Structure 1
Amino acid sequence: MYRSRPRGRMDDEVLRFLSSIQHDQSILYYDIVGSEAHSIMLHEKGHVKLQELKKILAALEEAKKNPGAIDTEGAEDIHEALEAFVIGHAGMQAGGKMHTARSRNDQVVLDIRMKVRDDIITLCGALVQLIGGLLDRADKSKDAVMPLYTHTQQGQLGTFSHFMLAYADALFRDLERVYNSFGRVNQSPLGACAVGGTSIDIDRRRTAVLLGFDGLVKNSVDATTSRDAFLEYVAAVAILAGTLARIAEDFIIWSTSEFGFIELADRYSSTSSAMPQKKNPDPMEIARAKAAVITGRLVAMLGIVKGLPSGYSRDLQELKPQLLEASQAAIDMVRVMDGAVRTLEVKKERMLAASKDSYAIALDIAEQLVSRGVPFRAAHKAVGALVGRAAEKSVPLSKLSEKEIGSVLKQSKLDFSPSELAKIVRGMTPARSIELRRSEGSPSPKEQEAMVKAARQRLAGFEEGVQKRAEFVKGSFDNLAKAVDRYLSS
C-alpha cells in the first residue's frame, strides 16, 4: 500500500526480510488508539469531516474488537496492515485521510512509547509486590540465624531476615531506576511526522493529552531519531535482572541437600525425567539464564543505535523485539521470584546447626578482645591461630580446652588471660554473636526491626506513585474511548 514510487510488488524474500509483523501484535492496540486520537485531532482542526471521522473510528473500533480480521499478508508491518483495514472498511475518501500529517516514523515510536509506558507500570507494580514479599519474609525470620558469606566461605553470622532485607534494598534501587525512566518514556513524538514536521495545521498537545502523555518530544528530528529512553529502560531492566539472578543463585545453593537452608515450594520446582527423587529449582535456573539474555538484548540495542545518522533509519526496527522481549522477560522474572519468595520454606534448625559449628564467630571473638584493649591486628592473629587449631581437630572453637587456648596465646605472643579468652569463646553462641552487633544496618534484632519499618514506609510511597500513574493513563484512555463513543453516536 505504501509503494508510490517503487514499481510493482516487492520481492517476497525482501518482504519477509523487512517485515516486523511477527513482533507487532504487542503494539497493535496502541496503534489503534493512537490512530483514534490522531483522527479526532484532525477532525477538530478541520482536516477530516465528521462523517469521515465516524467511518474511521468505526473501522478502528472494529479492529480493536476483532484484531484477527486485520489482513497482514503482504504488509511490511502492523501500521500498514491497520491502515489498509481502515481504508477497506471506511473507504479511501475517509480512511485515506487517517495518515494525514503523520509518518510511520513518529507513529511507530509513539506506539512503542505507550507499550513501554504500560510495561514500566506493570514491572514497577510487580517489583512492589516482590519487595513486599521479601519484607514479610524478613519480619518472620529475624530469629533464623545463618552464616553470611564472602568468597562463598562463611564470614560472619547473620540471619535469613538480613538476606531478605539486603535483597529488598537492592531491588529498591532497581525499582527506582525503572520508575524514573517513566518520565522520559512518557513524552509524545506524534506530529513530528517523517523528520521535519508538517505544513498542515495540527495540535500535537491535543493528541498527547488524549493519549496520557506528560508532554512532547518537541524537536521533530529528536522525536523520530532518539531511542535513549528505551535504552535507559532496558539498562535498568538488565541491572534488575542481575539482582534477580543473584537471588536465584542463592536460592539454588541454599536448596541443595548439602546446605538445606530452604526448600522451594513444589509449585516452583521441576523434576527429572529419569530420577524420581529429584526436586529441581528450574525456575531459578531459568531466571539466572534470563539475566544473560536480557543483557545481550541491551548490548544489541546499543550496537544498533551506535553511529546511526540523525533521522529515522530502518535499523531502528530491530530495536523493537529486543526492547519488548527484554521487558516481558523482566516482568516474568519478577513475578516468578515473588511467588518463590512467598512460598519457600525456611529451615531454621538446619541454619542454626550450621551456625553453631561455624568459625564465623571468629571476628566477634576478636572484637571482644579489642573491647578489652587488645590491638585489632594482634587479636586477628591470635583468633586466626585458634581457628587453625580447632580446624586441625575438626571441632568448633568452643571445644578447645583452656590449655590449648593458652598455648595458642603463647605462640601468638599475646599477653591475655587464657581463662578469660576461654570464657569469651564459650559464651560466643550464634544468638550472642547477633546480639552484640551495634553498627547501623547490622543483623541485630533492633536494626532489623528498624530496617523493616523504614522499608515498608518507603515501599508505600512507590506503591502510591505506581497506582497514580496507572490511574492517570487509564483515565486518559477512558476519556479517549468516551470521545470515540461521542463522535460515533453524534
Structure 2
Amino acid sequence: MYRSLPKGTMDEDVLAFLSSIQHDQSILYYDIVGSEAHSIMLKEQGIISLEELKKILAALEEAKKNPAVVETEGAEDIHEALEAFVIKQAGMGAGGKMHTARSRNDQVVLDMRMKVRDDINALCASLIDLIGALVKQAGKNRDAAMPLYTHTQQGQLGTLSHVLLSYADALFRDLERAYLCFGRINQSPLGACAIGGTSINIDRKRTAVLLGFDGLVRNSVDATTSRDAFVEYVASLSILSTTLARMAEDLIIWSTAEFGFVELDDRFSSTSSAMPQKKNPDPLELVRAKAAVIAGRLVSVLGITKGLPSGYSRDLQDLKPQLLEASTAAIGAVRVMKGVVETLKVNKKRMLAVSKTSYAISLDIAEQLVAKGLPFRNAHKIVGALVARAAAKEAPLSEITVKDAAAVLKKVRPEKKLGAEELARIAKGMTPARSIALRRSAGSPNKKEQDEMIKAARTKLAGYEAGVGKRTKFVQGALDNLAKTVDKYLAA
C-alpha cells in the first residue's frame, strides 16, 4: 500500500522477512487509539472535515470492537493493515487522510510507548503485591530461627523474616527502577513525523493530552530515533529477574528433603512422569531460567541500538519482540513468585533443629570474648579451636565441657585472662535465641529491628501503591475521555 517508489510489488520472500505482523497484535489497540487521537486533532485543526473524521472513527471503532476485521495477510505490519482497513471502510477520500502529518516512524514508537507504560504499571502493581506477600510472611516468621549462608556454608544464625525482608528490600529497588522509568516512557513522540516535523498545522500537545502522556519528546529527531527509555526498561527487567532468580534458588534449595525448611504449595509444584513421590519446584526453576532469557533480550536490545545513525532505521523493528517478550516474562515471573510466597509452608521446627546444632553461633561467641577485652583475632582463634574440638566429637558447641575449654586455652593462649569455666559457660549459653537477640545493629535479625523494618516496608508499600494507582487512573482517565470524544464526534 505504501509503495510509490520503488515501482512494482515487493518480492514475497522479502515481504515475509520484513513483516512484523506476528509481533504486532499486542499493539493493535494502541495503534487504533493513537489513530483516533491523531484524527480528532486533524479535525480540530481544520485539516479534515467532520464527515471525514466520522468515517475514520467509525472504521477505527469497528476495528477496536472486533480486531479480527483487520486483515493482516500480506501486510508489512499492523500499521499498514489498519490503515488499509480504514481506507476500505471509509473510502480513500476520508481514510486516505488519516495518515496526514504522521509517519510510521512516530507512529511505531507512539504505540510502543503506550504499550510499555501499561506494562510498567502492571509490573509495578505486581511487584507491590509480591513485596506485600513477603512482608506478610516476614511478620509471621520473626521467631523462625535459621542459618544464614555465605559460600553456601552456614555463616551466622538469623530468622526467616530477616531473609524475606532482604528480598523485599531488593525488590523495592527493582520497583523504584520501573517506577522512575515510567516518567521517561510517558512522553509523546506523535507529530514528529518522519524525522523533521511537518509544515501542516498540527497540535502535538492536543494528541499528548488525549492519549494520557505527561508531555512531549519535543525534538523530532530524538522522538523518532531514541530508544534509550526502552533499553532502560529492559535493563531494569534484567536486574529484577536476577533478584527473582536468587529468591527462586534459595526456595528450591530450602525445599529439598535434605534442608526441609519450606514446602511449596501443590498449586506451585509439579510431579514426575516416572517417580510418583516427586514434588518438583518447576515454576521456580523457570523463574530462575527467565533471568537468562531476559538478560539475552537485554543484550539483543543493546546490540540492535548500538551504532545506529540518527533517524529511524529498520533495525529498530527487531527491538519490539525483544522488549515485549522480556516484559511478558518478567511480569509473569513476579506473579508466580507472589503465589509461591503467599502459600509457602514453613517448617519452623526443622529450621530450629538445624540452628541448635549449627556452628554458626561461632562469631557470637567470639564477640562475647571481645566484650570481655580480648582482641578479636585472639577470640577468633580460640573459638575456631573450640569448633574443631566439637566437630571432632561430632557434637554441637552447646556440649563443650570445661575440660574441652581448658584444652583449647592451653593451645591458644588468650591475651587477657580467660578461665575455662567462663569460656565453656559462654559457649554452652549461646542458644539460637540468644545469638539473634545479642545482635542489635541496624538491619540485624533482632526482633526489634525486624518489627521496625516491617513497619517501614508497609509505609513504603502504601506510598508506591498510591503512586501507581494515581498513574494508572490518570492514563485510563485520558483514554476514557478520548472514547467520549470519539462518541461525541460520531454522534455529531
Choose the corresponding residue for 1:477, options 456, 476, 479. 479
Task: Name the amino acid aligned to 1:463.
Answer: E
Structure 1 counterpart SS, 2:157 = strand
Residue 428 of structure 2: aligned partner? 426
Residue 188 of structure 1: aligned partner? 188
Residue 319 of structure 1: aligned partner? 319
1:455 matches 2:457: yes
Deviations 1:281-326 (A, max 9, x none): 0000000000000000000000001000000000000000000110
Structure 2 counterpart SS, 1:360 = helix
Structure 2 counterpart SS, 1:425 = helix
Residue 245 of structure 1: aligned partner? 245
Residue 24 of structure 2: aligned partner? 24
1:213 matches 2:213: yes
Task: Name the amino acid aligned to 2:482.
Answer: L
Residue 279 of structure 2: aligned partner? 279
Deviations 1:307-348 (A, max 9, x none): 000000000000000001101111000000000000010000
User: How much does 1:69 deviate?
Assistant: 1.1
Deviations 1:384-419 (A, max 9, x none): 111011111111011122101110111001241110
User: How much does 1:220 deviate?
Assistant: 0.5
Deviations 1:6-58 (A, max 9, x none): 22221111111000000000000000000000000000001110001000000
Residue 402 of structure 2: aligned partner? 402
Task: Name the amino acid aligned to 1:476.
Answer: A
1:200 matches 2:203: no
Structure 2 counterpart SS, 1:361 = helix
Choose the corresponding residue for 2:441, options 417, 439, 442. 439
For structure 2, the residue ranges without an aligned partner over 5 or more in a row are none
**Seq. identity, %:** 74
Distance of 2:261 and 2:228 partners within structure 1? 43
Structure 1 window deviating more from structure 2 (307-316 vs 5-14): it is 5-14
Task: Name the amino acid aligned to 2:259.
Answer: F
Structure 2 counterpart SS, 1:156 = strand
Residue 106 of structure 2: aligned partner? 106
Structure 1 window deviating more from structure 2 (5-14 vs 41-50): it is 5-14
1:20-169 mapped onto 2 (5 Å cutoff): 20-169=20-169
Distance of 2:472 and 2:315 partners within structure 1? 32
Residue 290 of structure 2: aligned partner? 290
Distance of 2:386 and 2:404 partners within structure 1? 9
Structure 2 counterpart SS, 1:149 = strand
Task: Give structure 1 regions of 4+ aligned residues with deviation exceeding 2 angstroms.
Answer: none
Structure 2 counterpart SS, 1:72 = coil
Deviations 1:354-397 (A, max 9, x none): 00000000000000001111111100110011101111111101
Deviations 1:63-88 (A, max 9, x none): 00110111111110000000000000
Task: Name the amino acid aligned to 1:103.
Answer: S
Residue 491 of structure 2: aligned partner? 489
Distance of 2:310 and 2:440 partners within structure 1? 57
Structure 2 counterpart SS, 1:148 = strand
Distance of 2:452 and 2:71 partners within structure 1? 59
How many residues align? The count is 490
Distance of 1:297 and 1:240 partners within structure 2? 13
Q: What do you get for the CA RMSD once the two structures are aligned?
A: 0.5
Distance of 2:121 and 2:12 partners within structure 1? 39
- Conservation of the 8 A alpha-carbon contact between 2:400 and 2:428: no
TM-score (norm 1): 1.00
Distance of 1:237 and 1:456 partners within structure 2? 23
Structure 1 counterpart SS, 2:443 = coil
TM-score (norm 2): 0.99
Residue 380 of structure 1: aligned partner? 380
Distance of 2:90 and 2:20 partners within structure 1? 25
1:261 matches 2:261: yes
User: How much does 1:445 deviate?
Assistant: 0.4
Structure 1 counterpart SS, 2:441 = coil
